[in-house]
Structure 1
Amino acid sequence: MTTTTSHTPESEGAPAAPLETAAEAVLRPARLIHNEATTEIPVHLLFRDDPDPVAVPVAPAVVGRRRGTGEQPRVRRPAPVRARPVPEVDPELAERPARVLPGAAGVLAGVCGVAGCLFASWWAGALPAAVTPPGLPAGLAGAGPGPAQWAGFAASGALALLGFGGLARGRTGRAWVLGLFGRYRGTVRRTGLMWVNPLVLRRRIDVRLRHWRSEPMPAVDANGVALRVVVLVVWRVKDTARAALGVEDHEGYLRECVEAALSRVLCRLPADPPAAGRGGPGKDGATLRDTEAAGDALTRLVAADTAPVGIEVFSVQPVRVEYAPEVASRMQRRRLAALDAQHRDTVLTSVVDSVEDTVTRLTLRGLVDLDDYERKALVKDLTVAFCTGRTADAD
């Protein structure tokens, strides 16, 4: 019997490799690189001598090497994201209540001062006889006011000025920021009649919930088209000390922050979706017509910028987004052209579907037997007829 042995192309011309024993196979370490086409190398072996203890985030578990060169690709460290600097405000500028007295105390002090002045006048004999109560002498000092009477006049007058001059009326939704010799002394949020030291400088701040509708502000969308945007801002003063003393004009600062946020948000999104004949949408298909998304982004930015000066922003919503006058007519023509093209495409698709359905039914039911030339002529006639009918219906 003849035994036939088959030879494979790999076995021809290659020396027989020595067989490994089981012990050698166990002791031999796992090969990291199998052949020249292998592209898997553990990352920890590449960076085990790296002195930087910070771990490098790499998305895949392995990195590839250039085929046939043995050179490993360089892994670029991601650039750190720098946060926007937050304005620093004097830590001493934190709202605290000021010391005030009830209004009755000021009224009582003023009345006492006036009474003291009258008594000093009577004591010096300077009080007219018509004003002097009956049964009382005209005065104790007939020679005129002396040092004692002048001292009484001064003390009583000062008491009257302090009593009546310190009276103030607190109103709901208003606060007084007090300062003495350039130093913050506290905030008064009380209502009604009260007595405040007349030597302090008072500055009234409106702490009610307020809204501000801006004038049309210029902006540019992601496609570079000039826009005019009107926003509605709902805000209030939360920390009166920082709003009054931490910035020169807190209302002007709020307006500047809104304009800056508009320029940062609107430049990331297009004004219109692609259906209007413009460029592609922004991230996740958002556009400036999505006022909710744009309003949320504006609110976050403005609230973060105004928080250090004691202003609390609740919402910043765009109420009107329109093209600038210099580009409004051109963009209107482009939008009309895009709508017309979309309408034509819809009509053409409907006509083609109707022609196809008509020809298919006629052929399947055996009503007509057409060759290629006749079929093309029928399709042409049906297309013209359907297009004419759709145009007449549209008119």
Structure 2
Amino acid sequence: MTTTTSHVPEHVPDPGGPADGAAGPRPVRLIHTESTTEIPLHLLFRDAPGPAPVRLPPAVVARRPGAGRPDGGERPRPAAVRVDPGPAERPARVLPGAAGVFAGVCGAAGCLATSWWAGVLPPLAAEALGVPARAGAGGPGPAQWAAYAGAGVLGLFGFGGLARGRTGRAWVLGLFGRYRGTVRRTGLLWVNPLLLRRRVDVRLRHWRGEPVPAADRSGVALRVTVLVVWRVRDTARATLGVEDHEGYLRACVEAALLRVPMAGPGAGREAAEAAQDALTRLVAADTEAVGVEVFAVRPVRVEYAPEVAAAMHRRRIAALDAQHRASVLGSVVDSVEDTVTRLTMRGLVELDDYERKALVKDLTVAFCAGRGEAGP
């Protein structure tokens, strides 16, 4: 890099003094402490290549607290939104149905035995049971009432807890508002009768909704009818995490249709499949927190909204007409070119530029008229 030096002048020339080159008296110094200093000047251009410039790493400047806000306070950072889906599904503790039947039979037998003990068993019932009738002793006493209570509670718990599990159905059990587990077993079961049971359908289901507002990539209003294939994967979250998981699913589908640009009527298959995949991913991500598994969200009917249907219909017809005209014109040009080339190559005619242009014009008019009479 070329470096030059510049000397600071030691005196200030007098405007009224002699011209350049003429010797004159040295003026009085304006600053008594002045001195000559060499100042290096780095030119923008260089004649010879010099050493490569040294690149310094970028400086990291720490932001002082309160610099982001005019009042001096620290700017709050948005907190990450975390959705608590509630307790996850876990199996509930149930017993086989035989245990409930046995407990109910024991309770009923205990009531009969207590009635015979208290002497209140009818003679016909005693004869049917094969036991001798016993005379009453003034009615049941405290011991008999206690036996009645124990046998009755045992019978009620035994028979009252019997339940039948079905394939594709589950029970969500709760006690005083607390989740106690889910029953997915089938057959005859015994469930604690004090637990609250909520039946949930866990089969594969499909839902076809009403036309929902949507838009295509150009912002044109559409009406889309979708088919959703889904099922309940986590019964606890689907029942306790949201008030109505089916209504929540419908709301997620409507929100996804507003976020994903749909393929309009007459669009290609690839565009429709891309929109379907995007809808499925969005709805599945939104419903995962509430235990609903979405397999597919398929648009089964896409049509323009009533306010733009007529205008879009005319626009589509105009586009088809323009496409047809372009194809006809292309075929006419090819035919004219082929005709002129054949006539010239076979030596049937010898044409200059003017005659060639006239022939092309006449042939084009003739072919276009013939295509117009033939129709599209």
Distance 1:215 1:84, change over 3 A: farther
1:49 and 2:52 correspond: no
1:386 to 356, 361, 367: 367
Aligned match of 1:163 = 158
SS at match of 1:197: coil
1:94 and 2:59 correspond: no
Distance 1:44 1:153, change over 3 A: farther
Q: Which amino acid counterpart does residue 100 of structure 1 have in structure 2?
A: V
Contact 1:228–1:324 (8 Å) recurs in 2? yes
Identity between Structure 1 and Structure 2 (%) = 71
Give me the whole-angstrom Cα distance separating, in 1, the residues matched to 2:335 and 2:80. 60
Give me the whole-angstrom Cα distance separating, in 2, the residues matched to 1:225 and 1:342. 22
1:342 and 2:323 correspond: yes
1:358 and 2:343 correspond: no
Aligned match of 1:217 = 212
Deviation string 1:132-158 (CA, Å, 9 cap, x unpaired) is 228744325421121122112111111
Deviation string 1:289-347 (CA, Å, 9 cap, x unpaired) is 62221111111111111111111111212222221223222212211111111111111
Taking the TM superposition and a 5 Å limit, the aligned residue runs for 1:114-193 are 114-133=108-127, 136-139=131-134, 141-193=136-188
Cα shift at 1:85? 4.3
Distance 1:98 1:43, change over 3 A: farther
Which runs of no fewer than 5 residues in structure 2 stay unpaired?
1-41, 64-77
Aligned match of 2:255 = 260
Give me the whole-angstrom Cα distance separating, in 1, the residues matched to 2:188 and 2:131. 37
Aligned match of 2:66 = none
Aligned match of 1:300 = 281
Distance 1:44 1:301, change over 3 A: farther
Distance 1:42 1:203, change over 3 A: farther
SS at match of 2:185: coil
Cα shift at 1:49? 2.0
Cα shift at 1:372? 5.0
Aligned match of 1:310 = 291
Deviation string 1:212-262 (CA, Å, 9 cap, x unpaired) is 122211112222211111112111111111111011111111111111111
Cα shift at 1:176? 0.8
Aligned match of 2:201 = 206
Contact 1:175–1:188 (8 Å) recurs in 2? yes
1:227 and 2:237 correspond: no
Distance 1:42 1:125, change over 3 A: farther
Aligned match of 2:11 = none
SS at match of 1:179: strand
1:251 and 2:246 correspond: yes
SS at match of 2:107: helix
Aligned match of 2:69 = none
Give the alignment's TM-score, normalised by structure 1.
Answer: 0.73
Distance 1:101 1:263, change over 3 A: same
Give me the whole-angstrom Cα distance separating, in 1, the residues matched to 2:297 and 2:350. 69
Deviation string 1:341-360 (CA, Å, 9 cap, x unpaired) is 11111111221222233233
Aligned match of 2:301 = 320
2:100 to 92, 96, 106: 106
Cα shift at 1:44? 5.5
Contact 1:272–1:289 (8 Å) recurs in 2? no
Give me the whole-angstrom Cα distance separating, in 1, the residues matched to 2:80 and 2:314. 41
Q: Which amino acid counterpart does residue 329 of structure 1 have in structure 2?
A: A
SS at match of 1:290: helix
Aligned match of 1:330 = 311
Cα shift at 1:364? 4.0
1:271 to 264, 269, 272: 264
Give me the whole-angstrom Cα distance separating, in 1, the residues matched to 2:105 and 2:345. 113
Aligned match of 1:65 = none
Give me the whole-angstrom Cα distance separating, in 2, the residues matched to 1:234 and 1:143. 69
Contact 1:177–1:241 (8 Å) recurs in 2? yes
Deviation string 1:261-284 (CA, Å, 9 cap, x unpaired) is 111112xx56368xx8xxxxxxxx
Number of aligned residues:
315
